Amino acid sequence: MSEEKVEHVKCLIIGSGPAGYTAAIYAARAEMQPVMYQGLQPGGQLTITTDVENYPGYPEGIQGPEMMEDFKKQAERFGTDVRYGLATAVDFKDGKHEVTIDGNKKITADTVIISTGASAKWLGLESEQRLNGFGVSACAVCDGFFYKGQDVAIVGAGDTAAEEATYLSKLCNKVYMLVRRDEMRASKVMQNRVMNAKNIEILWNTETVEILGEQSVEGVKVVNNQTQEEKTLKVTGFFVAIGHKPNTDIFKDFLDMDQTGYLKVQSGNTKTNVKGVFACGDAADKIYRQAVTAAGTGCMAALDAERYLTEEGLH
């Protein structure tokens, strides 16, 4: 590795998406000269989302990638230095804020804002990836509205799956819930809600073979993993609710997180257990996971970082 001068910045934002870009807008306007590394998926999960209809300010709705481009332009307009690159390691010990980019470039920062997001877990089917955004979704709350009065399927057996199935049952004609085992992991109260919804049909011991359709979802082929009997369900929407994984592995030696990897922040703000390091968006939020809530915590992180800089006499 060639020895190069370590770059020092006032505010380093790791990751993009609604949280990162909003943090950048606020930080730039506060003259914190933010530098953002966009990560593997510039724009975050919204870049694989087609129609976004629930973000305020877009009365006709907007495509996810276009919306993220708007956020990025706004951040750049105020002077954010947006760069391609992936944070591959951090060193936060002894009050240090050192971040390694792409395995070789080192940056130190007065403040670090983490907005690395979370990634939905998928089944791993070719048809699932091909139709992602065209009937396949990992967020019923985001996309359920598009399937009003239609028949849909949802995969999963935990609290999130039960909650999303119940949500879909209020919009859709019929909801097939595909459960891999003969029982659900969801809490009793959530299971009861599913059982009491007249239009939810639970298919036990059932796994997805393939999602059918060329341009959009037209059905799903499933198999009973005990009898090996295959059948096709005629659905127009297919929701995957088998969990999310926060993109936080590089912080595990330094930052407090729950057993799934979501970063822990103080109640009512975005402070982590390391002074000067703040977390926002889906990397620290396993409950709401919406673009608008992510943007809100991005704003909070920038304000928290600015207060920290002022208190430390760095701004």
Q: Which residues carry out catalysis?
A: 139, 142-143
Distance in angstroms (rounded) separating the CA atoms of residues 239 and 218: 13
Q: Which whole-number Å values give the CA distances from 101 to 15, 88, 205, 238, 287, in the listed order? A: 12, 6, 44, 37, 29
Q: Which whole-number Å values give the CA distances from 85 to 88, 190, 223, 250, in the listed order? A: 9, 41, 42, 15
Angle 236-127-119 (CA atoms, 0-180°, nearest 5)? Answer: 95
Residues contacting 60, CB < 8 A, separation 6+: none
Q: For residue 21, how far is the Cα from the chain centroid?
A: 14
Coil vs helix vs strand at 33: coil
Q: Which whole-number Å values give the CA distances from 267 to 5, 102, 116, 258, 284, in the listed order? A: 38, 33, 20, 15, 12
Distance in angstroms (rounded) separating the CA atoms of residues 307 and 315: 9
